[in-house]
């Protein structure tokens, strides 16, 4: 699927109008076979579709030393979960709370504070990471892995 109409292989996406005839035919066939009629008509009427590979990406660590990752940089889950914006906001708010000496369990050791925050955020995101593949399977829009 990631080979374009000129035979070039791409890592994760193909630009509008660059899909191979094979991929285009597969897309239209899959849309007709699996999507509700209104959506498959939309796919059929789209003259120059693009392709974007979808993956769940979880950074091995959300914090290292005095550096923390938030939002998509920390974790990007498949769109079935509809979680990107709220996850980024939760990361930012929880990080601000963790660093706020007035409200937090924060210690004077910022490295430890970030490490504790990262552990808590990863644990909070784990159920959502596991839910994405199940949603994909139940929607019929994507493979479970
Ligand atoms: C097509 C599409 C549809 C989506 N639909 C939804 C949806 O319906 N619901 C939902 O919840 N989420 C959706 N998302 C996901 C959502 O947009 C992201 O999860 C969310 O924006 C992540 O926020 P962020 O702050 O981590 O990153 P971003 O919003 O990407 O912010 C990163 C910022 O960093 C800037 N930047 C990058 N490199 C540098 C640099 N070197 N120096 C300075 N600045 C830099 C960028 O310009 C950008 O402003 C969608 C994403 C896409 C691509």
**Which protein residues are within 6 Å of ligand 1, measured from CB?**
71-73, 82-86, 88
User: Which residues does 39 contact at the CB level (< 8 Å), separation at least 6?
Assistant: 31
Number of residues in the chain: 145
* Integer Cα distance of 136 and 9 in angstroms: 26
Q: Which atom of ligand 1 is nearest to the CA of 72?
A: 26
DSSP one-letter string for 69-88: --GGGTEE--GGG--HHHHH
Nearest CA to ligand 1 atom 50: 84
Q: Which atom of ligand 1 is nearest to the CA of 73?
A: 26
Is residue 117 helix, strand or coil?
A: helix
Ligand 1 center from residue 72 Cα (angstroms): 7
Q: Where are the domains of the chain?
A: 13-52, 57-139
Q: What is the pLDDT of residues 7-63, one digit of tens each?
A: 999 999 999 999 999 999 999 999 999 888 999 999 999 999 999 998 899 998 999
Structurally, at CATH architecture level, domain 57-139 sits in: 3-Layer(bba) Sandwich (3.50)
Q: Which atom of ligand 1 is nearest to the CA of 85?
A: 11
Q: What is the pLDDT of residues 78-133, one digit of tens each?
A: 998 999 999 999 999 999 999 988 875 657 889 999 999 999 999 999 999 999 99
Helix axes of 110-139 and 84-99: crossing angle, nearest 10 degrees: 160
Q: How far apart are the first and last CA of the chain?
A: 17
Nearest CA to ligand 1 atom 1: 79
Global confidence as pTM:
0.84
């Amino acid at each position: 699927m990631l080979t374009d109409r000129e035979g070039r292989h791409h890592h994760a996406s193909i630009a509008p109008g660059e899909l191979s005839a094979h991929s285009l035919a597969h897309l239209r066939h899959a849309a007709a076979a699996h999507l509700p009629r209104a959506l498959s008509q939309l796919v059929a009427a789209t003259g120059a579709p693009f392709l974007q590979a979808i993956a769940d990406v979880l950074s091995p660590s959300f914090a290292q030393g005095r550096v923390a990752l938030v939002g998509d940089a920390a974790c990007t889950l498949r769109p079935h979960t509809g979680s990107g914006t709220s996850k980024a906001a939760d990361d930012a708010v929880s990080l601000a709370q963790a660093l706020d000496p007035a409200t937090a369990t924060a210690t004077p050791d910022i490295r430890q504070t970030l490490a504790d925050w990262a552990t808590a955020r990863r644990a909070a995101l784990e159920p959502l990471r596991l839910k994405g593949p199940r949603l994909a399977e139940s929607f019929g829009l994507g493979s479970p892995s």
